Each structure stands twice: as C-alpha cells, then as structure tokens.
Amino acid sequence: MKVDSLWPQLLNGLFPPRCCLCQWASGNDLPLCRDCRSELAANTLACQRCALPLPRPGICGRCQREPPAFDRVIAPWLYSDCFAHLIHLWKFSGRDDLTPLLAQLWLDGAREPGDIDLVVPVPLHWRRLWQRGYNQSQLLADRLVCKLPATRVHPRLLVRRRATAPQSGMDARARAHNLRGAFTVRLPCDNLRIAVVDDVLTTGATAREAARTLKSAGARHVELWCLARTPAPGH
C-alpha cells in the first residue's frame, strides 16, 4: 500500500469525521451521521420538468402555462431545515470540505443522470466570488464529474455578464426581471447536451435564464442538477 493512500486512513483513525449537524462522530467517511441523514427528506413526488414537489407525479401548472427553456431538473432532496443548515455551512461558513458529502447525497438521490456532454456550474459574479473565495456550484460540478466519467466540466462556458441583486425576498417575477440578460456564453453550444449545476432551486429563475442563454447558443438539451428543491410558496 502506498504511503499517500495511508494518510486518509491514519487521519480518520486519529480524528474520526464528525457530523457537521450534531457534532457527534459520524460513523462513516463523510461528515453526516445516520440519524441526521435520516432527517433529510427526499423529493420523490415532483414535477417532471421543474422538480417542484407535487401531490402526484405529472407536470406542474406553471410548466404547463410557460414551458421553461430547460428540459428537466434533477433535485433529489427537499430544502428542509436540515438541508438548509447543510447548505448554509457549505456556502457561508467556509465549509467547502462538505463538497464530497453533498456530491454523494446528489448521486445517491439522482436516479438517472442521463447522457450529458458538458457540466456547467452556475457562475458567480467575480465580486461575489472574491468575497466568498469559492464558487460552491463549481466545487460541486468538479466533484460530480469525478464520479460520472462520461462527462466533463466547462467552468467558463457560462459567464455572468453583470452582478445581480441578491434574490432572497424577491418573488418569481422580480427574480426573472433581475436575471434577464445576466448570462452570456463563451462558445457555440451546437447540439450539446448540457447540465447546469446549482445548489438549490427556488423559483427556477436562474435555471430558466441560464437554460435560455444556452439554448439560444445552440444547446440541444439543457437540464439542471441541483441538490434540493424548495416547495411552492405556501406549501
């Protein structure tokens, strides 16, 4: 056995991974224990297009009225309090070491990732990237692609043309307006099947705008891979 493959084992022996939610030893290689994991709710009954939780499988009213530019969304988990805490640690508390855990949760929950040529993270504006130090969607995309060998990441295909105001507190219409023209594409995407990676899908305004931009650059199929989906307002 090579020395560098012993290091992780040795470190795990000395400092067993702790659960990032309850702080007890996690009992496995990842920082989430079985009890806390069992509190995460799977997004099983959902819109086949936008992954909005629904009482029965089908297409939600909004996707029927205004079909989105993306072909489908894979969002295996519900954005519960538990999941929100995980995402908050990952994005705002510098816990970029949670990326392997979150990638594994996505892989465990996503039943059919399908055939994809390129994986593209949702870009952050450079100013936000500079403040946070990392783009969480890029970390997640890199990690997923390690596990899905037929795909590759193109980190700079989609770029943010301008900074957009933070979207929390905006309704769907305000978000769509805030994002119009926010992205631009660096290369032609003729005939490509593209997966856009983001952390959480809320109103879908970011996904709709990113997909619209990629489709107008020639992409044949655009889907969104995100970790969790928020329910409809008032749900």
CB of 207 vs Zn ion, minimal distance in Å: 11
- Selected binder of Zn ion within 47, 153, 219, 227 (CB under 5 A): 47
CB of 192 vs Zn ion, minimal distance in Å: 23
Nearer to Zn ion, 18 or 128 (CB): 18
- Does residue 141 belong to the site contacting Zn ion (CB under 5 A)? no
- Does residue 22 belong to the site contacting Zn ion (CB under 5 A)? yes
Stretch that binds Zn ion, among 6-14, 42-50, 145-153, 170-178 (CB under 5 A): 42-50
Q: How many CB atoms lie within 10 A of CB 91?
A: 18
Nearer to Zn ion, 129 or 172 (CB): 172
- Does residue 33 belong to the site contacting Zn ion (CB under 5 A)? yes
Give the dihedral sign, CA 83/31/74/193. positive
Alpha-carbon distance of 157 to 194, in angstroms, equals 11
Q: Where do the H-state alpha helices sit in the chain? A: 3-14, 34-38, 61-65, 81-92, 99-109, 126-132, 136-147, 172-179, 205-216
Burial class of residue 38 in the structure, from the number of CB atoms within 10 Å of its CB (0-12 exposed, 13-18 middle, 19+ buried): exposed
- Selected binder of Zn ion within 43, 46, 49, 219 (CB under 5 A): 49
CB of 19 vs Zn ion, minimal distance in Å: 3
Residues from 51 through 80 that contact Zn ion (CB under 5 A): 52, 60, 63
- Does residue 19 belong to the site contacting Zn ion (CB under 5 A)? yes
Alpha-carbon distance of 12 to 144, in angstroms, equals 23
